[in-house]
Each structure stands twice: as structure tokens, then as C-alpha cells.
Amino acid sequence: MKNQEIVFSKNQLQRYPIYLKLFRQLYEKGQISVSSPQIAKELGYSQEQIRKDLQAISGTPGRPKRGRSLERLIDDLEVFLGYRTETKAVLIGTGHLGGALLNYPNFESMGLHIVAAFDNDPAKIGERLGGKSILPMEELKGTMEKEGALVAILSVPGHVAQEVAESAIEAGAKGLWNFAPVHIAVPEGITVENVNLASSLAVLNHRMLSALSKEEQ
């Protein structure tokens, strides 16, 4: 991986897929290069931020006035984000959210390949969801080892999330993508990334109500 010495903040990492989406749109429309002012206008980030972000993954542009080549930016972003390298994952918990994730059409294009789905409900074992057979938890370790899966996607209820996380780590997971609304404690060397809808809703609610009360004043 490039630029290993740069420490990327979470906010910065989160911006890269948004740049990539924009650059692909512009490229599809026939544009061949893009300038910081145009990106700033489209995404609302400062030009300074944009230059810093892009320099970190794509080096300095040759001639500032002409902007950056979209083809090269798309290339560099796809490599940086790991979209060109397959990462194998298992999904644990096949309720509504698990089903939605198994059916999510974009993961493959981001390099994430879900190889199998697991549940602890005997009634679900053997059913098919998003093109995968649902397997029992007893097969988790064998499947992860055989497939070389590094990521476990946790779409289980909060009260079992810690226990399921521990099984996944025991089975070889190095990264947990946690959709359960709880904190998960993990040993050093294991990465957890949370998608917490309650936290996101808290931000929306608070900011919306603050904006509304300002309007009323």
C-alpha cells in the first residue's frame, strides 16, 4: 500500500469514496480533468482540504491550472480503497438488516466479497438469502479458514454481539464491521468499525432541532 507513513483520520478516509463517486460521474459525462474549485463546489469541502486529501493518495498534480486527471484519480482511489483487491467476508445474523446487506449490490465493486452467511436459528439453516445458503454457527471457523475470510459483518441483536464477535475473532476475523448498536471490546490487532443507526439518528435529531429553534428565534 502507498503512503504507509501517512496517518489518515477517520473523517479523511470517509471522504475518499465520496470523491471517487463524484469523479466517476464527471468522467462518465466526458470530463477529463477536475480542479479543486470544482470539487469544492460539488462536495462542499474547502479547497485546502481537497488538495490535502488528494495529494495524500495521488501525489502532486503536474500543472496546477489544468486540474488533475480524472482517469488517474479514479485509478489511485480504487487502488487506495482496496476496490481492486478482493477482501473476503462472512455475514453473521440474517434478520432484516443482514438480508439487506446480503442483497446490497455494491459491495463486490468495493472489493468486498461475502462468501457465506451464518445464523444460530435452526429454522433458517439451509435457507437461501441474497444468493447464499445460511450456514450454522458451528461451521463459522471452518468456512472462514477455508475461504481465507478476514472480515466478519455483524448484523446480530445487541445483546449477543459481543459473544458473536468473540466467535468471529476465534475463527480468524481481523476486522469486524459491526451493525449491532453496542460497543464491542476486542483484543489488540483487531479492527472494529461501527455502523450505529442510533448514533446517526442522534446527530440528525439534534442538528435538525437546533436549526429549527434558530429559525423560530
Interaction pattern, residues 118-157, with its own copies; x per rule: CB under 8 A: --------------------------------xx------
Residue 30: partners with Cβ closer than 8 Å, 6 or more residues away: none
Which region, judged by CB under 8 A, interacts with its own copies, from 29-37, 66-74, 135-143, 192-200? 192-200
In whole angstroms, what is the distance from residue 144 CA to residue 88 CA?
9
Which region, judged by CB under 8 A, interacts with its own copies, from 66-74, 92-100, 119-127, 132-140? 92-100
Interaction pattern, residues 24-63, with its own copies; x per rule: CB under 8 A: ------------------xxx-------------------
Between the alpha carbon of residue 70 and those of residues 26, 56, 74, 82, 142, the distances in Å are 8, 16, 6, 18, 43
Furthest-apart CA pair in the chain: how many Å? 63
Helix (H, G, I), strand (E, B) or coil at 7: coil
Q: Which of 82, 126, 142, 148 binds its own copies (CB under 8 A)?
A: 82
- Is residue 163 a contact point for its own copies (CB under 8 A)? no
Between the alpha carbon of residue 120 and those of residues 84, 117, 137, the distances in Å are 33, 11, 6
φ/ψ (deg, to 5) at 185: -90, 130
Provide the binding-site residues for its own copies, judged by CB under 8 A: 1, 4, 8, 10, 13-18, 21-22, 42-44, 81-82, 87, 96-97, 99-100, 103-104, 106-107, 110-112, 150-151, 158, 174-175, 177, 181-183, 185, 189-191, 193, 195-213, 215
